[in-house]
Structure 1
Amino acid sequence: MTGRRRASRSGVFALCLLLVSLVACGGQPAADSTKADVQRLLDSRSAAVLHHDETAYTRTGARTAYENLSAVPFASWSYRLTALHRTGATATADAELSYKVRGYDTAPVTVGRALTLGLTADGKWYVDSDKPAKKSGQQLWDQGRVRVVKGAHSLVMGVGQSADSLADYRALADHAVPAVSGAWGTDWSRHVVVLVPGTLDGMAGLLGSPAASYRGIAAVTTGEAGGSGSAPADRIIVNPEAYAMLGAVGKQVVLTHETTHVATRAHTTSATPLWLSEGYADWIGYRGTGRTPVQAAPELHSAVQDGDLPTALPTDKDFGFSSDPAKLAQAYEGGWMACRMIEDRWGVARLGTFYRAVGTHKKRPGAVEDALKSVLGVTPGEFTGEWREYLEGQLG
């Protein structure tokens, strides 16, 4: 009896150890299995996007998202699951979405996404929602169904916009690209992607910032600045409300200005001051329009007329969107006049060389000074003095 009891107790103890081992070891594979299942679901979703297979996409979740993005010409689309939190038959997931627009993006755009998932009665996961991750901007298709028009040098995508409206943007962008190449050169992609949301709030959503930051700003350009020479995804994002207030020339100037930022991106670094990058973009924007300095620089003209001649070139802080509107306008106008002066005295080619020379520096200190000396043969003091004289002569 004693031996049997000992054997029985040993057996129970061993069985308990086995059960504990199974539970402890079985938990991780179960979690890994769920992750693998969800990743396969996201892979199926990606394949459906790329193959324009609405039926296959619908099997992975709601159809609305497919309808919103189906017109966009994607060259690639994939998710990488980074985190998964399951609660019974539901789960939340974090993922990185990478995609390329065919013919326009040289490398994938990567954005954070937050997904909610559900489990069907037969044990299969489906996507219930796919939204921007916290602190990530929206994609255009998050705002509604995307309409696409393609030009000779441009791809214009809009939400809440008519085909005619997008065709107008296409015409402006197709004019801007060769205009920029004519001044800057052809060492860039020579095409642009223009995003036109339905409202100012839509613009802010794409940029992941408050709408107040862009009120009155007609358009901005996003993308990677600096050194690689292969910014994967410059996007010109339009504020349709401010843009609608512009005249025909103003609309063209804005699109050409933003296209210049796309062209110069690889040569615009942390060493490049905003008076140069914004002034150069305005210089190309106004080039060929026939606008005189008094017409194109009204705020600076008023200041000079009032005897308030600037003592120094605009600082980066002067270009803050929250600045006084008149001071902000003067900053842009001052940068434009500086670039216009370089063209007048040293020529178009030397202006482009100067821009590139500044951008070769890794840091701001010394960048402009070295480029002024090596390219234009002047000191910063001499350049500023000539600029002030130029303002007086052109705007006085």
Structure 2
Amino acid sequence: MNGRGRAPGRHTAAGLALLLVAALLAALVAGCGGRPAADGTRTAVQDVLDRRAAALLDRDAAAWAATGDPAGYDRLRAVPLAAWSYRVTAVHDDGPGSGGDALRADAELRYRIAGYDRAPVTTDRVLRLVRDPAGRWRVTGERPAPKTGEQLWDRGTVTAVRGTHSLVLGVGGSAERLRTQKAVAGLADRAVPAVTDAWGPRWPRRVLVLVPDTLDGMAALLAAPAADYRGIAAVTTGETGGGPGAPADRIIVNPEAYGLLGAAGRQVVLTHETTHVATRTATNAATPLWLSEGYADWVGYRGTGRTPRDAAPELEKALRDGQEPTALPPDGDFGFTGDAGRLARAYEGGWLACRMIAERWGEGRLDAFYRAVGERGKRAGAVEGALREVLGVDLADFTARWRTYLRDELG
């Protein structure tokens, strides 16, 4: 709490007493979370975590077991790791009664997936350790830090399926789940060349896909409520504008919603998400969601023969009911937690805007427009400037043309 409004002055005896009480309470509260351990203990904990990381990278199960709980090794064995390291940030006695023989360590985990991550993924972890009779620290457990997303191996033993252009990591290892992973790899392998054909070759041209066990598992990876993603078949995580210093995007599949789709729908979803991977470096805060999501849908539907009436039923209904949109979909309409109909209309409207550009100005101009918006970065008027430069129209003219296009295609 801020001490705003407090005037400077000498402390009275009563004031000093209050300060002493406050200090005592603060010490008691700190004690509930465990006292900070000595620097020598922190160094010892860092050493055991360094040995644990080296054992994992060396694929040495015995060396891993020598550092503590052996269970995590099997969970991670199938993950193709290029790097794995911990940096201890704090060490605390693990609560009253531990006698200094049980610790909680806060650590930063950095890892890279071989062939995919150009830079490490960084995530906060909490580890518990105990001292054995010989005085050595051993890890007894590891979990995500509070308010931090899980990693896939927190859900169970990871299985890996490699495609020509993809790596699909899942959990569980059942025959059914392995079949799902193989099917996803096949769709991803078709998505990559389809995206390259539309966007061009200047992107890694490979995708990393995570298939958790359940919707709850997907939500845990995203550190979000499951309800936010109940009807969402897949999402892509990554840093907008991510360049050479960014980890690879992860496409995360919701096995429940994805499983309800037919073969064509699954391919559209994987191609849509792969498009986000390809366009990431050209996407930033200036890129409106109607463009980034609309372009991904345009690539996803490209070549499928899907017509606006097939793929935009919510917008068609809105026009039929006399509720024609007056403006391009705002970013707020793309929220997963809002009205499902509004979300569908937003996606459909963005797709039809990009489809109109591709038809009337050409596919090359659509790509150039997307890149031009991104090149303007956070500057005001990025979309308006790109419209004038690439398409030769202003925002009002473009919006009017889009509304006419909706009527022509759906009315």
TM-score by length of 2: 0.88
Q: Give the aligned partner of residue 338 of structure 2.
A: 323
Match of 1:135 in 2: 147
Q: Which residue of 2 aligns with 1:38?
A: 45
Aligned equivalent of 2:25: none
Aligned partner of 2:388: which letter?
K
| 2:274 alignment partner in structure 1 | 259
* Offset at residue 61 of structure 1 (A): 1.3
| 1:226 matches 2:241 | yes
Superposition deviation, residue 381 in structure 1? 0.5
How far off its partner does 1:232 sit? Answer: 1.1
**Aligned match of 2:348:** 333
When the two chains are superposed, the root-mean-square deviation of aligned CA atoms in Å is 1.1
The answer to whether the aligner puts 1:97 opposite 2:109 as a matched pair is yes
Matched residues in 1 for 2:141 and 2:233: separation?
32
Letter in 2 for 1:185: G
CA distance in 2, matches of 1:227, 1:380: 28
- Per the TM alignment, residue 246 of structure 1 is displaced from its structure 2 partner at its CA by 0.6
Cα offset, 1:365, TM superposition: 2.7
- Structure 1 Cα separation of the partners of residues 89 and 258 of structure 2: 39
The alignment status of 1:85 with 2:87, answered yes or no, reads: no
* Separation in 1, partners of 2:56, 2:87: 15
Once the two structures are TM-superposed, the CA of residue 135 in structure 1 deviates from its matched residue by 1.3
1:122 is the counterpart of 2:134: yes
Check whether the contact 1:230–1:266 (CA below 8 A) recurs between aligned residues. no
Q: Report the alpha carbon displacement of residue 367 of structure 1 after superposing the two structures with TM.
A: 0.6
Q: Which runs of 4+ in 1 moved over 6 A?
A: none
The equivalent residue for 1:149 is: 161
**TM-superposed deviation, 1:361:** 2.1
Report Cα offsets for 1:154-202 as digits up to 9, x if no partner. 0000013532211000000000011001000111111000000010000
List per-residue Cα deviations over 1:67-107 (Å, max 9, x = no partner). Answer: 11110000000001111113510111110000000001000
Aligned to 1:9: none
Specify the SS of the correspondent of 1:60: coil
Aligned with 2:66: secondary structure?
helix
Cross-structure match for 2:123: 111
2:119, 2:244 within 8 Å by CA — same for their partners in 1?
A: no
Mapping of residues 153-232 of structure 1, within 5 Å: 153-160=165-172, 162-226=177-241, 228=243, 230-232=245-247
User: AA paired with 2:256?
Assistant: E
1:53 aligned partner: 60
* CA drift at 1:337: 0.1
SS in 2 for 1:62: coil
1:230: how far off? 4.5
2:43 partner amino acid: A
In structure 2, what residue type is equivalent to 1:121?
P
Distance in 1 of aligned mates of 2:356 and 2:243: 30
Contact 1:229/1:267, CA 8 A, preserved across alignment? no
1:293, 1:55 → 2: CA distance?
59
- Answer yes or no: is 1:73 the counterpart of 2:80: yes
- Partner-residue secondary structure (3-state), 1:113: strand
Distance apart, 1:227 and its partner CA: 5.6
Question: What residue in structure 1 maps to residue 15 of structure 2?
Answer: none
Unpaired runs of 5+ residues, structure 2, are 1-36
Encode CA deviations 1:294-334: one digit per residue, 9 max, x unaligned.
Answer: 00111111111222211100000000111211111000000
Distance 2:77 2:244 in 1: 30
> Partner letter of residue 326 of structure 2?
T
Quick check: which has more Rg, 1 or 2?
Answer: 1
Q: How many aligned positions are there?
A: 367
**How far is 1:364 from its partner?**
6.0
Q: Is the 8 A contact 1:225 1:231 kept in 2?
A: no
* TM-score, with length taken from structure 1: 0.91
2: CA distance between counterparts of 1:229 and 1:312?
A: 36
Residue 282 of structure 1 is matched in structure 2 by 297
Query: Could you give the per-residue CA deviations for residues 316-364 of structure 1, whole angstroms, max 9, x where no partner exists?
Result: 0000111211111000000000000000011111101100110112326
Secondary structure of the residue aligned to 1:103 is coil
C-alpha displacement of 1:229: 5.2
